[in-house]
Structure formats: structure tokens, C-alpha cells
């Protein structure tokens, strides 16, 4: 099984939804108000994983990314377009608009358990929640921004039991901090 890394923008009060405002929510756009030095480029420090791993996305995030990345040509966008992408969707059929995208076959848990490459998950709250419920997340890279949103989905939903992680690193990233948490 590949190492599963969940990445995401998180507000100080734990909200993960609509950081860029594309969801049209009244509270949306909270992450991108802090400037490109906070949100641009390889903000989650995926580095080599973009060449050797796979990006696992839900349908909504894939659709958003497929409108953003294919027409960009900067270094990060080129890596994003070349990166292998697997989409967890039962409704999408044509993935040709976003290079190197394939549909996931079988269940999410079975896919993750059989994928030998490292797996990065970004956005895709339904995918994140399913991975959390199956205890398949190995690492979180959370970009915490100095915004208190007050409304929206939290990265962690209700739990049956506590989950304890180890802080691996914290680095400043513009107005935010990128904290990496791993299983002990």
C-alpha cells in the first residue's frame, strides 16, 4: 500500500471547504485572500511525489482542477499536468480534458490498499472522510491560514475514537504555516 498524504488549506477554526471561493459559499475565498506566497506553487511540499506518486481526487475537485491546470505552463502547473491522477467517481466518463487522469476502479479502500505509489489527496472532502473512516491516512500536511471562517465543513468529522498523531514539522508559508503530522 502506498503512503497516503492528505493535504489541505485549513482555517484557524478547522474549516476546509471553499478556500478559493469557487464553491460560491458566503464564507468562500478565505485562503486566497492571503496572497500567492501563501497559496502558490508546491505549497504542500510534494516535490518528488509529483513525479512518482498519484493524486487521488473526488469528482468535484477533479472538475475544478481540470478547469484550472491544463492551460497553465509554469513549472508547478506542468508537474501537476504530468502527475498521475486517479478520480473516485461513479458519474464521470470523459477524463481527456485533464492529462494523465484515470477513473478509480473498485472501492476506495481497495484501491488505496492496492496502489503501490505514494498517494496525495487534496480537496475532495468525501474522499478524505472515507479514508479517515477506514483508517488509511498516514500523514496530514495542513496549511493553516490566519482566518476564522465560522462556517463550513471541518477537515475532521465526528470520530468513534480519538486519533493521535505526531508533529513532524512546521514551516512558515507566507501568512500561513504548513504543519505535517504523521502516525507515531
CATH number for position 13: 3.40.430.10
Residue 75's pLDDT band (boundaries 50, 70, 90)? confident
Give the DSSP letter string of 13-39: T-B-S-SSSTT--TT--TTGGG-HHHH
pLDDT at 36 over 70: no
**Secondary structure of residue 72 in the 3-state scheme:** coil
pLDDT at 66 over 70: yes
Of residues 53 and 174, more confidence is placed in 53
Sign of the torsion angle spanned by Cα atoms 136, 129, 79, 32: negative
Residue the block writes with cell 491522477: 85
**Secondary structure of residue 134 in the 3-state scheme:** coil
pTM score over 0.85: yes
Number of domains in the chain: 1
pLDDT at 41 over 80: no
pLDDT at 42 over 80: no
Domain with 163, as residue range(s), is: 4-182
With a pLDDT cut of 70, the percent of the chain lying above it is 97
Bridge-partner residues for 8, per DSSP? 142
How do residues 116-149 score in pLDDT, each as one tens digit? 999 999 988 999 999 999 999 999 999 999 999 9
Residue 39's pLDDT band (boundaries 50, 70, 90)? low
CB 85 within 8 A of CB 98: yes
**Secondary structure of residue 82 in the 3-state scheme:** helix
Question: What is the per-residue pLDDT for 170?
Answer: 97
For the CA atoms of the chain, what is the radius of gyration? Answer: 16
pLDDT at 25 over 70: yes
Sign of the torsion angle spanned by Cα atoms 152, 137, 130, 54: positive
Amino acid at each position: 500500500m502506498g503512503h497516503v498524504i492528505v493535504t489541505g488549506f485549513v482555517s484557524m477554526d478547522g474549516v476546509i471547504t471553499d478556500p478559493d471561493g469557487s464553491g460560491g459559499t458566503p464564507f468562500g475565498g478565505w485562503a486566497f485572500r492571503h496572497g500567492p506566497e501563501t497559496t502558490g506553487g508546491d505549497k504542500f511540499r510534494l516535490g518528488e511525489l509529483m513525479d512518482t506518486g498519484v493524486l487521488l481526487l473526488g469528482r468535484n475537485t477533479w472538475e475544478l482542477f481540470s478547469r484550472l491546470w491544463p492551460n497553465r505552463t509554469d513549472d508547478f502547473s506542468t508537474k501537476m499536468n504530468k502527475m498521475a491522477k486517479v478520480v473516485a467517481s461513479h458519474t464521470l466518463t470523459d477524463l481527456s480534458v485533464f492529462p494523465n487522469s484515470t477513473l478509480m476502479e473498485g472501492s476506495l479502500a481497495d484501491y488505496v490498499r492496492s496502489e503501490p505509489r505514494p498517494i496525495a489527496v487534496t480537496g475532495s472532502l468525501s474522499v478524505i472522510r472515507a479514508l479517515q473512516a477506514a483508517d488509511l491516512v498516514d500523514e496530514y500536511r495542513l496549511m493553516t491560514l490566519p482566518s476564522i471562517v465560522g462556517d463550513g465543513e471541518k477537515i475532521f468529522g465526528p470520530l468513534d475514537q480519538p486519533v493521535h498523531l505526531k508533529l513532524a514539522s512546521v514551516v512558515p508559508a507566507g501568512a500561513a504555516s504548513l504543519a505535517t503530522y504523521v502516525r507515531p
